[in-house]
Amino acid sequence: MSPGARYRRTVAAPEIAETLEKVVAQLPGGGEVRDGQRVMAEAVADAIESGRHLVVQAGTGTGKTLAYLVPAVVTGARVVVATATKALQDQLAGKDLPFLDAHVGGFSWAILKGRSNYVCRQRVAELLDDRQGRLDVANDDPGLTAVLEWANETEIGDRAELALEPRAAVWDAVSVGSDECPGASKCPMGETCFAEGARRRAAEADVIVVNTHLYGTHVAAGGVVLPPHDLVVLDEAHRVEEVVSSTSGSELTSGRISAAAYAVGRVIADDALVTDILAISARIADVLDDLVGQRLDPPPARLVDQLTQLRTKLDAASAALKGVPESNVDVVARRNRASQQLLGLSEAILRASVVPTGSVAWVEGRPGSAKLRIAPIDVAGLLEELLWRETTAVLCSATIPPKLPTRLGLPKGNTTEINVGSPFDYEANAVLYCATHLPDPRQERADAVHDEIAALIEAAGGRTMALFTSWKAMQAAVEALRPRLDTPVLAQGEQPKPALLSAFTDEPAASLFATMSFWEGVDVPGPSLSCVIIDKLPFARPDDPLLEARREQVGRRAFELIDLPRASTLLAQGAGRLIRTAEDTGVVAVLDPRLATAGYRWDLIRGLPPMRRTKDRAEVLALLGELR
Ligand code: SF4
């Protein structure tokens, strides 16, 4: 039990099953507990009582949310639920927790987000002061006026309450990141701060919902961000390695350096120093633009040279900030925030100049918005030391990647792994079709792929989600097929994601073409989606810097330990878009013959739901016609 965590009540398996039954019976339409859901709930209760970690694969339709919430509530454990998607967080906050509260009760819950999601009272106070003195013309932005009016009335201060999403620059002007906030004790608004209020509510709650990113920050910070808890549920556990890798690393952008320069400029009257920092920031942007896509092993001299010059200037800025007279509370607050920003920036510069052992540095993004990232190659040791020893964990997902417990460093002797399957009848309701007649994706084959997509969409009468492994392949398909098809083609990037998904759901004749961000977390039940097309097996690019470093670390078994589990999980996630309810039927079409021929094919097929398999194109086209 972690220090400060709470007393837990021992419960027998029948009590869990009984409560689950009672709760599920209240679901709209009077649901029934499914076997997999009961097995998972009892396993979660066992994890709470024994302190053994649990890794559970719970296929679509299991009802995994109630399967972890019911035992947490019945045993009285304090639990943190970390979700990887906003959709799941909204579902917990808007549906599952209020429902459980109404039918079981006896517990409290809270949502906690990262600091930059809450409006910062201190920044708002400073902006209003500036406005009165007309110091900053940009403060007359109408979007900013609306946000300031809302900030004056809100009780929670969560950006999600805003009816209209503010522009990034507007939100940046009224919020702070955790790297900028000096902490409540050093802030004049600390007592009424919204982010601090959310933390206080979380500290009193029995169930705390956070996103995986915030939980990763909590782990990387040595467990000080969140209140002590008995259990953490890491939902969408297949994303944990990627998220922890990101939160325990650091990032450096020219934008971050410029933001720190402006923060300093608002406090000290040394224009030359601020101008110098901005000039170095621009030079670093140029160097990073040239390095996009490259691993920095070691960082090139021209980058280290600029970083060294920057450190000298930041040291001068820190010294100047210390000398600022404490004339009023706002000046002190601005100074504290600027100092905090410089501190975080100096740490990132240090890591970028001399990349720590066991980490990898690379530049990602596009020229103009390049980002230098440093991340640990392997998160197992970090998680072992900072998480698994401290807190019991339940890791669940519809697709648990092969070898996940090993990659995450879960202790072998203290981890239980189960697969509770899915209640859906995949064999009867879904067909996995591999287009073996198509050329191998390593050859030029765009025309053949477009012909195949057109044939499938025409047979299905639209109702298709085509998932691509690259933006370029998606755009080529949209361009080639839109004029050719009689049914509408919707494409990622042409509308915001929620609008695109509702247009697709509302118009069964439509097809939706999209890339990786639609492979998971997209839920379109019903007849609007009868065919999922996957253009090729989702193997990572061989030159992805982080994966390249991981491959080097494991040596000859890299394909088996790194590439195959990753592709298997993504493929299962993509295919998983098809069957969302017991009534859904359809076809998953994989336009990559390697799924039927490669030596590793069974590793991929075993990771997919148990669909009936075929290579018979005519049979699949006829079946799609029947489903219309
Ligand atoms: S403590 Fe102060 S600076 Fe930090 S978020 Fe709260 S109001 Fe803003």
Give the pLDDT of residue 56: 98
Answer for the pair 373, 361: CB distance below 8 angstroms, yes or no.
Answer: yes
Q: Say if residue 411's pLDDT is above 90.
A: yes
Q: Is the CB of 117 under 6 A from ligand 1?
A: no
Query: Helices H, strands E: what count in the chain?
Result: 27, 17
- How far is Cα 140 from Cα 293, in angstroms, rounded to an integer? 39
Ligand 1 mean position, distance from CA 183 (Å):
7
Ligand 1 mean position, distance from CA 192 (Å):
9
Ligand 1 mean position, distance from CA 86 (Å):
24
Ligand 1 mean position, distance from CA 276 (Å):
29
Ligand 1 mean position, distance from CA 195 (Å):
7
- How far is Cα 494 from Cα 510, in angstroms, rounded to an integer? 14
Ligand 1 mean position, distance from CA 184 (Å):
6
- How far is Cα 291 from Cα 286, in angstroms, rounded to an integer? 9
Give the pLDDT of residue 141: 72
Ligand 1 mean position, distance from CA 176 (Å):
7
Answer for the pair 336, 187: CB distance below 8 angstroms, yes or no.
Answer: yes
pTM for the full model? 0.89
Give residue-wise pLDDT tens across range 465-512. Answer: 999 999 999 999 999 999 999 999 999 999 888 899 999 999 999 999
Distances, alpha carbon 10 to alpha carbons 13, 22, 47, 74, in Å = 10, 20, 11, 9
Q: Is the CB of 187 under 6 A from ligand 1?
A: yes
CA nearest ligand 1 atom 3, residue: 181
- How far is Cα 179 from Cα 196, in angstroms, rounded to an integer? 15
Give residue-wise pLDDT tens across range 222-233. Answer: 898 999 999 999
- Using pLDDT thresholds of 50, 70 and 90, give the confidence band for residue 8: low
SS (H, E, C) 173-205: HHCCCCCCCCCHHHCCCHHHCHHHHHHHHHHHC
CA nearest ligand 1 atom 8, residue: 120
- Using pLDDT thresholds of 50, 70 and 90, give the confidence band for residue 32: confident
**Which residues 6+ apart lie within 8 Å of 502 measured at CB?**
none
Ligand 1 mean position, distance from CA 432 (Å):
53
Give the residue, out of 112, 116, 156, 196, with the most ligand 1 atoms within 8 A of its beta carbon, to mutate for a pocket test: 196
Is the fold of 13-108+206-247+396-421 the same as that of 426-627?
yes
Q: Is the CB of 104 under 6 A from ligand 1?
A: no
Residue-wise DSSP of 263-275 = HHHTT---HHHHH
Among 13, 24, 17, which residue's Cα sits nearest to residue 47? 13
- The topology (CATH level 3) of 13-108+206-247+396-421 is Rossmann fold (3.40.50)
Q: Is the CB of 193 under 6 A from ligand 1?
A: yes
CA nearest ligand 1 atom 6, residue: 193
Q: Is the CB of 173 under 6 A from ligand 1?
A: no
Give the pLDDT of residue 116: 93
Answer for the pair 150, 162: CB distance below 8 angstroms, yes or no.
Answer: yes
- End-to-end distance of the chain based on CA atoms, in angstroms? 55
SS (H, E, C) 340-359: HHHHHHHHHHHHHHCCCCCE
Helix (H, G, I), strand (E, B) or coil at 595: helix
- Using pLDDT thresholds of 50, 70 and 90, give the confidence band for residue 329: confident
Ligand 1 mean position, distance from CA 123 (Å):
8
- The topology (CATH level 3) of 251-376 is Methane Monooxygenase Hydroxylase; Chain G, domain 1 (1.20.58)
Counting from 1 in the atom list of ligand 1, the atom nearest the Cα of 194 is 6
Helix (H, G, I), strand (E, B) or coil at 66: helix
Q: Say if residue 135's pLDDT is above 50.
A: no
Give the residue, out of 187, 200, 334, with the most ligand 1 atoms within 8 A of its beta carbon, to mutate for a pocket test: 187
- Using pLDDT thresholds of 50, 70 and 90, give the confidence band for residue 409: very high
Q: Domain 426-627 is classified in which CATH homologous superfamily?
A: P-loop containing nucleotide triphosphate hydrolases (3.40.50.300)
Among 13, 36, 41, which residue's Cα sits nearest to residue 100? 41
Counting from 1 in the atom list of ligand 1, the atom nearest the Cα of 122 is 7
Ligand 1 mean position, distance from CA 23 (Å):
40
Counting from 1 in the atom list of ligand 1, the atom nearest the Cα of 184 is 1
Ligand 1 mean position, distance from CA 43 (Å):
41
Give the residue, out of 118, 119, 122, 339, with the most ligand 1 atoms within 8 A of its beta carbon, to mutate for a pocket test: 122
Q: Is the CB of 176 under 6 A from ligand 1?
A: yes
The two tokens of residue 251 are 């990032």
Q: Say if residue 9's pLDDT is above 70.
A: no
Over the chain, what is the mean pLDDT? 92
Give the pLDDT of residue 404: 94
| Mean predicted confidence (pLDDT) in 565-576 | 96
The two tokens of residue 544 are 């992805």
**Which residues 6+ apart lie within 8 Å of 185 measured at CB?**
none
Answer for the pair 596, 436: CB distance below 8 angstroms, yes or no.
Answer: yes
SS (H, E, C) 361-386: EEEECCCCCCEEEEEECCCHHHHHHH
Q: How many CB atoms lie within 10 A of CB 61?
A: 19
Q: Is the CB of 189 under 6 A from ligand 1?
A: yes
Ligand 1 mean position, distance from CA 122 (Å):
6
Ligand 1 mean position, distance from CA 369 (Å):
28
Share of the chain above pLDDT 90, in %: 79
Give residue-wise pLDDT tens across range 272-323. Answer: 999 999 999 999 999 999 999 999 989 999 999 999 999 999 999 999 999 9
Give the pLDDT of residue 137: 41
Give residue-wise pLDDT tens across range 138-190. Answer: 556 778 888 999 999 999 999 988 888 888 888 988 999 888 899 999 899 99
Domain ranges of the chain: 13-108+206-247+396-421, 115-192, 251-376, 426-627
CA nearest ligand 1 atom 5, residue: 120
Q: How many CB atoms lie within 10 A of CB 102?
A: 10
Give the residue, out of 121, 128, 199, with the most ligand 1 atoms within 8 A of its beta carbon, to mutate for a pocket test: 121
Counting from 1 in the atom list of ligand 1, the atom nearest the Cα of 123 is 8
Give the residue, out of 113, 124, 181, with the most ligand 1 atoms within 8 A of its beta carbon, to mutate for a pocket test: 181
Q: Is the CB of 47 under 6 A from ligand 1?
A: no
Q: What is the DSSP letter of 210?
A: E
Give the residue, out of 124, 127, 193, with the most ligand 1 atoms within 8 A of its beta carbon, to mutate for a pocket test: 193
Q: Is the CB of 195 under 6 A from ligand 1?
A: yes
Q: Is the CB of 122 under 6 A from ligand 1?
A: yes
Q: For 482-492, b where at least 16 C-beta lie within 10 A, e where not — what string?
A: eeebebebbbb
Max Cα distance, the chain (Å): 80
